[in-house]
């Protein structure tokens, strides 16, 4: 199959987790004067950590001290619509407002399902069981679309969105790629209807093996070149690295990133 049309877009989020390291100056050039911040320096955070009423008074100044330029932040459906039709944006308004004031680029991750929209309300309401028991009820697809529309519209200045966090971990949402792709399609269509210029990323923990499945399904369902994503994000943990004497730990697997890139441009 041909995926060349995606080649120009794959850098958007694919390397977000490692881009800071990739832009570090070489030792020979480290002493050269720099104008402004030469890095894209990003962190992943949770909104409740950055809540000014919780740890924000400590963590937000730390972002300033570190010259953080980019923050990946989960925007949880179950948190901003705890009961159907009732929206509570206080947490995200406060946190995203602080980040915007600092001109920090936000990569938003649309995540979680409220119990009232799930096939298993008690299981979905518990953080201990949600990845095993939480799945979107079919009759709640319109509510899901409405939630996506509300979030993307309210925070229209956010240009980069990921759909879900490590979907393969969710037994009723991502372990079956057909379910993930259907929900990703809904998210993509609604988000692009709100803002055609928005960048939507599929998300993966497994990497190229999972995304190969997604690519093949998408081509079968929607046709070649009609994928419901503009980029792919990956958590490239180096699970199998074994440190030896004099060998520094390598926490990021650049091979896994390379494998995914090769799949995207194949």
Check pLDDT > 70 for residue 21. no
Spatial CB neighbours of 260, under 8 Å, sequence gap ≥ 6 = 14, 204, 207, 208, 211, 232, 234
At 103-114, the pLDDT tens digits run: 999 999 999 999
Q: Is residue 42 part of a domain?
A: yes
Tally of domains within the chain:
1
Per-residue pLDDT of 62-120, as tens digits, reads 999 999 999 999 999 999 999 999 999 999 999 999 999 999 999 999 999 999 999 99
> Which pLDDT does position 239 carry in this prediction?
82
What is the pLDDT, as a whole number, of residue 10? Answer: 39
Find the domain containing 225 and state its range.
4-22+38-265
In a domain, 31, yes or no: no
More confident residue, 147 or 44: 147
Q: In the chain, what percentage of residues exceed pLDDT 90?
A: 73
Q: Which whole number is the average pLDDT over 50-56?
A: 88
Any domain includes 106? yes
Distance of alpha carbon 54 from alpha carbon 71, whole angstroms: 18
Confidence of residue 266 (pLDDT cuts 50, 70, 90): confident
User: What pLDDT is stored for residue 91 in this prediction?
Assistant: 96
Confidence of residue 18 (pLDDT cuts 50, 70, 90): very low
- C-alpha 232/C-alpha 17 separation (Å) is 12
Where residue 13 falls among pLDDT bands split at 50, 70, 90?
Answer: very low
pLDDT at position 123 is 95
Summarize pLDDT for 167-205 with one digit per residue, the tens: 999 999 999 999 999 999 999 999 999 999 999 999 999
H or E element in which residue 204 lies? strand 199-204
β-strand pairing of 199-204 with 231-234: parallel
From the CB of residue 16, how many other CB atoms can be counted at a distance below 10 Å?
A: 22
Other Cβ atoms within 10 Å of 74 Cβ, number: 18
CATH number of the domain within which 102 lies: 3.20.20.80
Which pLDDT does position 35 carry in this prediction? Answer: 55
Identify which of 216, 141, 133, 230 has the alpha carbon closest to the alpha carbon of residue 183. Answer: 141
Where does 56-190 show beta strands of DSSP type E? 70-76, 105-111, 160-163
- DSSP assignment, residue 134? -
Taking residues 145-165, report their average pLDDT.
Answer: 98
Name, in order, each residue with C-beta under 8 angstroms of 166's C-beta and a sequence gap of 6 or more.
Answer: 174, 203, 204, 205, 235
Q: Is residue 29 part of a domain?
A: no
Q: Is the pTM of this model over 0.75?
A: yes
Query: Is residue 28 assigned to a domain?
Result: no
Rg (CA), the chain: 19
| 34 pLDDT more than 60 | no
pLDDT at 151: 98
Confidence bin at 38 (pLDDT 50/70/90): low
231 with 14: CB under 8 angstroms? yes
Quick one: CA dihedral 192, 195, 199, 205, positive or negative? negative
3-state secondary structure of 112: coil
Residue-wise pLDDT tens digits, 209-257: 999 999 999 999 999 999 999 999 999 999 877 777 887 778 889 899 9
In a domain, 27, yes or no: no
Alpha helices in 7-126 (DSSP H): 19-22, 47-50, 56-66, 77-80, 90-101, 121-125
For residue 186, the surrounding DSSP H or E stretch is: helix 177-194
User: Does residue 91 form part of some domain?
Assistant: yes
Examine residue 30 and state whether it is found in any structural domain, yes or no.
no
How deeply is 121 buried, as exposed, middle or buried, from its count of CB atoms within 10 A (0-12, 13-18, 19+)?
middle
pLDDT of residue 12 exceeding 90: no
Q: Identify the weakest region by mean pLDDT among 34-43, 146-155, 218-227.
A: 34-43
Q: How confident is the model at residue 28 (pLDDT cuts 50, 70, 90)?
A: very low
């Amino acid at each position: 199959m041909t995926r060349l049309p995606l080649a120009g877009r794959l850098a958007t989020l694919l390397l977000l987790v490692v881009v800071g390291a990739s832009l570090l100056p070489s030792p020979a050039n480290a002493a050269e004067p720099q104008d402004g911040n030469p890095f894209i320096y990003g962190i992943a955070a949770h909104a409740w950590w950055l809540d000014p009423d919780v740890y924000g008074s400590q963590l937000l100044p730390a972002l300033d001290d570190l010259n953080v330029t980019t923050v990946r932040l989960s925007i949880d459906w179950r948190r901003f619509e705890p009961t159907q039709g009732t929206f509570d944006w206080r947490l995200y308004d406060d946190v995203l407002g602080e980040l915007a004031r600092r001109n920090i680029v936000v990569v938003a991750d649309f995540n979680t399902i409220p119990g009232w929209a799930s096939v298993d309300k008690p299981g979905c309401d518990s953080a201990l069981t949600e990845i095993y028991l939480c799945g979107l009820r079919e009759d709640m697809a319109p509510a899901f679309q409405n939630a996506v529309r509300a979030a993307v519209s309210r925070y229209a200045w956010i240009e980069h969105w990921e759909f879900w966090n490590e979907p393969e971990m969710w037994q009723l949402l991502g372990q079956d790629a057909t379910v993930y792709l259907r929900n990703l399609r809904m998210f993509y269509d609604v988000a692009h209807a709100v803002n055609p210029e928005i960048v939507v990323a599929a998300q993966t923990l497994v990497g190229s093996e999972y995304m190969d499945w997604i690519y093949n399904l998408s081509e079968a369902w929607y046709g070649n070149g009609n994928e419901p994503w503009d980029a792919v994000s990956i958590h490239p943990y180096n699970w199998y690295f074994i440190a030896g004497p004099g060998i520094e730990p390598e926490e990021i697997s650049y091979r896994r990133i390379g494998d995914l890139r090769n799949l995207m441009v194949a």
